[in-house]
Amino acid sequence: SMKMNEIIERARNAAKELAILSAEKKNEALLVMAEMLSTEAEKIKKANQIDIKNAEESGKNAAFVDRLRLTDARIKGMADMFKKVAELDDPIGKIIEKTIRPNGLVIEKVRVPIGVIGIIYESRPNVTADCVSLCLKSGNAVILRGGSDAINSNKAIYDALNKAACATSLVQGAFTLVEDTSRELIDDMLKAVGGIDLIIPRGGEDLIKRVVEKSRVPVIKHYNGICHVYVDKDADLKMALDVSYNAKVQRPGVCNAMETMLVNREIAKEFLSIAGRKLKSANVKIKGCNETKKIIDGISDVTERDFFTEYNDLILNIKVVKDLDEAIRHIAKYGSAHSDAIITENAKTALEFVKRVDSSAVFVNASTRFNDGGEFGKGAEIGISTDKIHARGPMGLEELTIYKYVVHGTGQVRE
């Protein structure tokens, strides 16, 4: 397999060409990639079966196996995403703003690619496809380092995309999968100052901590999702029931699913007696505070540690709070600044919540499950950034670009 410095060298050369590639050429490659994923679907599924079998044999939990699994629908989803990204506007070369100075200089702020992006991720093979489509469209070269758990699936997806790249004579090194999953290669990526422009880690807390501690290359963290729904005293209780149920149950294994429900004391008894039944009927294991335990039978105690835990599973913490203030303080202490929601009919309360809760997305009367590039109309996402520098929330095409200034003069010199 190629050494990391060779991979980076190829990627840097590719990045120069990708930066000036026309939208037509990029879209052509994306559409052929979509086709190739469909053509190779059986091969990809066979490879995925090996990863699934290995995961099950090594005792991985159901949520992990679900993240790893590629069904026909998920492979079609990957192919559709390439088509969708092809339809999106090309951000590169867009003039963001234009100023004319008193001396006649015309100053334009123009979108350009970041360059070479390194992505370090764990068990979700669809990340391979997502990242290639978005990086290609935004004119970035990408180096993908997936986890050993998904290596067979990642290789199969990569092979299909590579076939398409060759068929459309896309520059070599536009995207590379690091097939050697040893730790040393991650370290080489993290040290590659001047070679890799940005590292994006996607995965569990341990992976992200390790990357952040070691990296000399700038990192945008896609951190865990400890998401809250606060049911206010002025909530429409039917809405509160539907939204909180969706936030927990619709797909529990993802980062924007609710992990803790906070309920105002004034409506707790009425609300939790219905919510408890509905959640239990969906096999949600509830952990509650003392007040919750008085209302919902047969649930276990919630501990301090539970409030810091991202379950990614059908487990939910419930806590009764005395007011909005206590809810906001709880979110500030235990949350991960990902996605947090309030259910209320009171506009003043909603406004205070939105101002004071510091998360990448804050929701009023809607499910946290909407914090997603596709749902935000970005077409797709490379992940959800919980950082505050450069990009925050769902990172789509624009978030994979930076800008430069282009200054047009007529011979002006500085006095």
Residue 380's pLDDT band (boundaries 50, 70, 90)?
Answer: confident
95-132 residue pLDDT tens: 999 999 999 999 999 999 999 999 999 878 999 999 99
pLDDT at 379: 76
- Angle, CA 286 vertex, CA 281 and CA 288 arms, to 5°: 140
Residue 259, pLDDT > 90, answer: yes
pLDDT at 124: 87
Q: Which long-range contacts (CB under 8 A, 24 or more apart) does 163-170 make?
A: 163/36, 163/40, 164/29, 164/32, 164/33, 164/35, 164/36, 165/29, 165/33, 167/32, 167/36, 168/25, 168/28, 168/29, 168/32, 170/25, 170/29, 170/136
Residue 2, pLDDT > 80, answer: no
Name the one residue in this structure whose structure tokens are 């990242």: 131
Residue 64's pLDDT band (boundaries 50, 70, 90)?
Answer: confident
pLDDT at 224: 84
Please give the share of the chain, as a percent, with pLDDT higher than 90. 88
399-408 residue pLDDT tens: 999 999 999 9
Q: Mean per-residue pLDDT for 163-182?
A: 95
323-353 residue pLDDT tens: 999 999 999 999 999 999 999 999 999 999 9
pLDDT at 223: 79
Q: How far is CA 315 from CA 261, 268, 304, in A?
A: 11, 19, 15
For CA atoms 43, 49, 50, 51, give the dihedral sign. Answer: positive
Residue 374's pLDDT band (boundaries 50, 70, 90)?
Answer: confident
Give the residue, 127 or 13, on which the prediction is more confident.
Answer: 13
pLDDT at 1: 54
pLDDT at 239: 98
215-253 residue pLDDT tens: 999 999 887 899 999 999 999 999 999 999 999 999 888
pLDDT at 315: 97
Residues 339, 227 contacting (CB under 8 angstroms): yes
Residue 205's pLDDT band (boundaries 50, 70, 90)?
Answer: confident
Average per-residue pLDDT in the chain? 95
